[in-house]
Chains A and B, each alone.
Chain A
């Protein structure tokens, strides 16, 4: 089945220099394995490519059932030197939740 992340998870964006961090936390922990299988670093990089111009690294936090994506923006796209209206990239969490993924074994 196809799932929009917004419907099953919440997210917060943070920033350090030209890095954006995005958490992805399912409301129901039973969804965590399905998200691990389907929300790859590549899928996130592709989805956010209009702003995330560098690589995306994904970390699993199995202890709390959360994924963390660390996304590299352009060198000059930092909180003080960015030309974007949202210089921090705070709204990227909402953008991430617009991603739709194919889930093979969703939680019941």
Chain B
């Protein structure tokens, strides 16, 4: 059965995103499908590290809280949910969510898409795409996740599962899969795949297309930002779509917010690469219809890359980071003196070290901060070394500024964290086999659509 129009929304654009706008989107968006995009480049590696060290789940730690809030609305409205929050352990995540559905008395079936973990498939001696050095030369490898595409999602959509959890599926594929499934798009119709990919790309960061991360004074002002509504697309069978947001919410969807998201994290506009297609973003038409509605149409596609991109996580040492604040008319001078003192004391101890004056040059190198000194100035020192002890030296030396540094420093804060670096490589598509596993409360009558 082929749908005539599909309503697909995005209820999370990163792992730490807000929960209530997704509830509102499902309750009032009239959605067929809601997607939660919860993985960044580094998130699978961090999840894998958590799992390896037993310090937490291999899936998104916020997933349980998110799902507890969404299960009721999903069930009431018959909306299907697709999310990559399965991270390094989609099956574990699916089992956890199935447990939540039982506890809540909400009979939803849950599926997991597996096979993106390619740790056993990559050659550690092969070069990283970024710098050509062997992957293993960067540090001990902790994870390798292949960006899998919509073709891996389709078998899960064929099941009656209402909640589908994936690991490292490419962000736009989370949206393209449901569109291919609803409209019966063939994987050979590259223009349709490109249009679905554009819809996914525009939605994948959730509030970033509806006024979030856009707002400022003047021409970038956004109405009622605190009540930012999350986006949805009304998609036609030819791949044309109208972008809008939950009715009655704050935010704005217009040509400016849509074009800013269309260009976001695009390395080559003529070939926006996903596991599904190479979408030509220079062929996209964007038409502002007014009233928080923008029509997006016309993208053209070319064949997908032969290889799947793989994000490889490696142990990159430990970061020590510490801050101390100074006040008064020579605050900047004393903060600078403190920076020099710490640099000298850590010379030869921490191999990579950086000192910033927050409010002066921490974000933008200082060229626009040449005027009067600020009343307050905060020194920040960050260093990365091979082990925890080295990184702790940063915190210790900034702490020691209390008695051994310039006058009047206060409010020391410090942290030491393990660093997981990420580099990329590729694997042949044929080498990666994905599969779907459905879990859930078998004894119940499962409502599906």
Chain A interface residues (CB < 8 Å from chain B): 10-12, 14-19, 21, 23, 25, 27, 50-51, 59, 61-66, 68, 70, 75-76, 78-81, 83-86, 91, 94-95, 98
18 pairs from A and B in contact (CB 8 Å cutoff) = A10-B260, A21-B264, A23-B260, A25-B259, A27-B256, A50-B367, A61-B281, A61-B282, A63-B283, A64-B263, A66-B263, A79-B42, A80-B421, A81-B419, A81-B421, A83-B384, A85-B358, A95-B365
Contact B263 A21 (CB under 8 A): yes
Contact B259 A65 (CB under 8 A): yes
* B74 is an interface residue with CB less than 8 A from chain A: no
A65 contacts across to B, CB distance below 8 A: 259
Contact A10 B256 (CB under 8 A): yes
* B151 is an interface residue with CB less than 8 A from chain A: no
Within 8 A of A (CB), among B342-397: 352-354, 356, 358, 362-365, 367-368, 380, 382-384
Given contacts A17-B41, A59-B266, A70-B268, 12 further A-B contacts (CB under 8 A): A16-B267, A21-B263, A65-B259, A68-B266, A70-B267, A80-B45, A80-B421, A84-B382, A85-B362, A85-B363, A86-B363, A94-B363
B265 contacts across to A, CB distance below 8 A: 14-16, 21
Which residue of the partner chain A has the closest CB to B284?
Answer: A63
* B99 is an interface residue with CB less than 8 A from chain A: no
Q: Mark B260-291, 1 if CB is under 8 A from A, else 0.
A: 11111111111000000000011111100000
B158 contacts across to A, CB distance below 8 A: none
Which residue of the partner chain B has the closest CB to A63?
Answer: B282
Q: Mark B197-227, 1 if CB is under 8 A from A, else 0.
A: 0000000000000000110000110000000
Cβ-Cβ contact count across A and B, 8 Å cutoff: 125
Which residue of the partner chain A has the closest CB to B263?
Answer: A23
B220 contacts across to A, CB distance below 8 A: 10
B45 contacts across to A, CB distance below 8 A: 80
Q: In the bound complex, what is the Cα–Cα distance between A14 and B316 (angstroms)? A: 23
B362 contacts across to A, CB distance below 8 A: 84-86
Q: In the bound complex, what is the Cα–Cα distance between A21 and B266 (angstroms)? A: 7
Chain B interface residues (CB < 8 Å from chain A): 40-42, 45, 130-131, 213-214, 219-220, 255-256, 259-270, 281-286, 316, 319, 352-354, 356, 358, 362-365, 367-368, 380, 382-384, 419-424
Q: How far is the CB of B195 from chain A (nearest CB, A)?
A: 14
B424 contacts across to A, CB distance below 8 A: 17
Contact B264 A83 (CB under 8 A): no
Contact B285 A83 (CB under 8 A): no
Q: Is the interface of B mostly helix, strand, loop or mixed?
A: mixed
Q: Is the interface of A mostly helix, strand, loop or mixed?
A: loop
A18-B130 CB under 8 A given contacts A10-B220, A83-B352: yes
Contact B353 A64 (CB under 8 A): no
A80 contacts across to B, CB distance below 8 A: 42, 45, 316, 419-422
Q: In the bound complex, what is the Cα–Cα distance between A62 and B263 (angstroms)? A: 12
Contact A14 B264 (CB under 8 A): yes
Q: How far is the CB of A24 from chain B (nearest CB, A)?
A: 9
Contact A12 B380 (CB under 8 A): no
Contact B356 A12 (CB under 8 A): no
Contact A91 B352 (CB under 8 A): no
Which residue of the partner chain B has the closest CB to A15?
Answer: B265
Contact A25 B423 (CB under 8 A): no
A16 contacts across to B, CB distance below 8 A: 41, 265, 267
A64 contacts across to B, CB distance below 8 A: 255, 259, 262-263, 284, 286
Contact A91 B42 (CB under 8 A): no
Q: How far is the CB of B259 from chain A (nearest CB, A)?
A: 5
Contact A62 B282 (CB under 8 A): yes
Q: In the bound complex, what is the Cα–Cα distance between A40 and B131 (angstroms)? A: 26
Which residue of the partner chain B has the closest CB to A18?
Answer: B130
Q: In the bound complex, what is the Cα–Cα distance between A66 and B283 (angstroms)? A: 13
Contact B382 A75 (CB under 8 A): no
Q: In the bound complex, what is the Cα–Cα distance between A66 and B220 (angstroms)? A: 16
Contact B269 A23 (CB under 8 A): no
Q: How far is the CB of A95 from chain B (nearest CB, A)?
A: 5
Contact A83 B284 (CB under 8 A): no
Q: In the bound complex, what is the Cα–Cα distance between A81 and B423 (angstroms)? A: 11
Contact B365 A81 (CB under 8 A): no
